[in-house]
Amino acid sequence: MNRSTRVALALLFTAASIGNTACQSQDLPIGGDEATSGGGEASSGGEGSDAAALLVAHWEGYVENFEFRSGSDAVQLDIDTVEGSAIQGTVRFGAGPSMPPPTDPDVGYPPNPGIEVGYALGLPYEGFDFTLLGAQLSESRLRFSIAPTELWKGWCELQTPRLVVTPGGRERTYFCESEQGYLQGSDGCFLAEQPVDCAYIDLCIKEVCHCGESGCTVDAELAEERVDFDLEFDQQEANGSMAIESAIFYNVRLTRDP
C-alpha cells in the first residue's frame, strides 16, 4: 500500500469517527440520565436522576410585598414526581387550614364572598392545592402556571347543566338559571322574584363552570385566568417571580423543607 493510499484511508476513518460521535450527541429528557454508550437510547429518568432529586421536595416560602385575602404572604410548592418531560405537583397559598369541599350546589363557594365584592377569578384562594400546569424545566429553571378557577371544579360538578336559549336565539348549555329577572339589592338577591344566594348567582354570571349535556366541571387546562411562576432552583433555595394575569409581577422566595 503506497503512502498516498494510507493517508486517504486515515482521513476517511477520522471523518467517519467524527460523524459517529455527532450522531450520539442528543438532548436528554427532563430528569433523564446521561445517554448510554454506543448510541443507545437515553434513560427515561425519574426521581433518582439529578434534575428530579433537585426538584422533588416540599418547598415553603413567601411572596414579597403581597398579601392574600387573610393577610398571609405564604406559598408552598410540592413537586411530587419528575418522569421524563412530565412534572407533577401542587401549589398552596396562605398558612391556614385546608378549604372544606363544597356540599351545596345552590350556595356559592366559598360561601359569602360579599354581595358587593363577589368572586375575583384571577386571584387564587388560600387552603387549596392547585395543580401545576405546563411545567417546563430548563437546567435549574422551572416555569409553570396554576389556574385559580380550578378551585371551583368540585362545586361545578355538583351542578345540573341547563340549556339556556339566549335572546338572539343562540342556544348554549349553562349551569344555572338565565340571568333574566335577576335583581340585587340591600336585602339580598332575587331571580324571577325568588330569593337566591348572591354568591351562587355571581358564579353563574361569570360562567366559572364548563358545562355539557352530561354535566359541569372546570378544565384547568382551558382556563383563561392564570398565575405564572418562573423559578431558579439550587440545592436548598428557589427564587423567582409570580405573575398575576401576566402583568403584575412579585418576587417569590422558597426554601427546601427539610
**pLDDT mean values, one per 10 residues, the chain (258 residues):** 40 37 34 37 44 84 94 96 88 93 94 74 94 92 96 95 72 66 78 86 88 90 93 94 89 94
Question: Residue 168: what pLDDT?
Answer: 66
What is d(CA 58, CA 80) in angstroms, rounded to the nearest whole number?
Answer: 8
**Domain residues of the chain, as ranges?**
3-39, 44-258
Contacts of residue 152, defined as CB under 8 A and 6 or more positions apart, other chains included, come to: 109, 203, 208, 209, 218
**How far is residue 203's CA from residue 219's CA, in Å, rounded to a whole number?**
16
Q: What is the pLDDT of residue 30?
A: 35
pLDDT at 13: 34
CB 62, CB 253: distance < 8 Å: yes
**What is the structure's pLDDT at 11?**
36
pLDDT on residue 3:
41
Return the residue matching grid coordinates 352530561.
Answer: 214
Q: Which residues of 185-208 are buried (b: 16+ CB within 10 A; e: fewer)?
A: eeeebbbeeeebbbbbbbbbeeeb
Q: Can you give the pLDDT at residue 128?
A: 97
Q: What is the pLDDT of residue 167?
A: 66
